Amino acid sequence: MAVRPDPGLRAIALIEGEKVKGKIIFEQFRANQPLKISGEVTGLTHGEHGMHIHEFGDLTSGCSSAGAHLNPHNKQHGGREDEDRHLGDLGNIVANAQGVAKFNMEDKLMSLYGVHSILGRSLVVHADRDDLGKNRMDEKSRTTGNSGQRVGCSVIALAQPEGWDKV
């Protein structure tokens, strides 16, 4: 029997909302490497939309029961490239005129491994642009980025590593 190489971890979020749908894949080979995030979300309005990892994978009351942004280090809200940010801050995805946002990004803080793993938490897509916490005079900017209503969400679930079905 052939020994499979360690493919790392892979997770999936299947976004559901009233109009919004999507599929997001998370991949990480090792805990100390960046998390790769790629996906497509449809049914959005044209423009930017905040996207965050929220603290709970509880969607019993829809996206509203997902809790706040994942923030185990009690930081201010920020963008994905900011030093001072919530662990769950992913910034914005951009929908084209047809309402489709396709993206590929990496994150150096989030992980599928360890005590602050995003597995079992939720991914939430918001109605509005995330201001990335830049309006320091506005409390909502420092906590949510003023990203508005939750229009789609999903629990982040462990997925079968790519290619394992072919071994």
31-58 pLDDT, tens digit per residue, is 999 999 999 999 999 999 999 999 999 9
Instruction: Please say if 73 is a catalytic residue.
Output: no
Instruction: Please state the φ and ψ torsions of residue 76, each to the nearest 5 degrees.
Output: -75, 160
Instruction: Please say if 150 is a catalytic residue.
Output: yes
Instruction: Please say if 49 is a catalytic residue.
Output: no
Instruction: Please say if 116 is a catalytic residue.
Output: no
Q: Are 21 and 43 in contact (CB under 8 A)?
A: yes
pLDDT of residue 62: 95
Which one of the listed residues 49, 80, 85, 86 is annotated catalytic? 86
Q: Is the pLDDT of residue 165 over 90?
A: no
Which one of the listed residues 10, 85, 121, 126 is annotated catalytic? 126
Q: Is the pLDDT of residue 140 over 60?
A: yes
Which one of the listed residues 10, 49, 54, 85 is annotated catalytic? 54
Which one of the listed residues 10, 69, 85, 142 is annotated catalytic? 69
Q: Any idea what DSSP says for residue 33?
A: S
Q: If you average pLDDT over residues 161-165, what whole number do you get?
A: 60
Q: If you average pLDDT over residues 10-16, what whole number do you get?
A: 97
pLDDT of residue 148: 95
pTM for this predicted structure: 0.91
Q: Is the pLDDT of residue 4 over 90?
A: no
Which one of the listed residues 89, 107, 130, 131 is annotated catalytic? 89
Token code pair at residue 11: 């997770």
Instruction: Please say if 54 is a catalytic residue.
Output: yes
Which one of the listed residues 49, 77, 80, 121 is annotated catalytic? 77
Which one of the listed residues 80, 85, 121, 150 is annotated catalytic? 150
Instruction: Please say if 130 is a catalytic residue.
Output: no
The average confidence (pLDDT) of the chain is 92
pLDDT of residue 132: 94
pLDDT digits (tens, 9 = 90+) for 101-129: 999 999 999 999 999 999 999 999 999 99
Q: Are 140 and 146 in contact (CB under 8 A)?
A: yes
User: Which residue bears the tokens 């603290």?
Assistant: 55
Q: How far is CA 35 from CA 43, 108, 121, in A?
A: 26, 6, 15
**How many whole angstroms separate alpha carbon 104 and alpha carbon 152?**
19
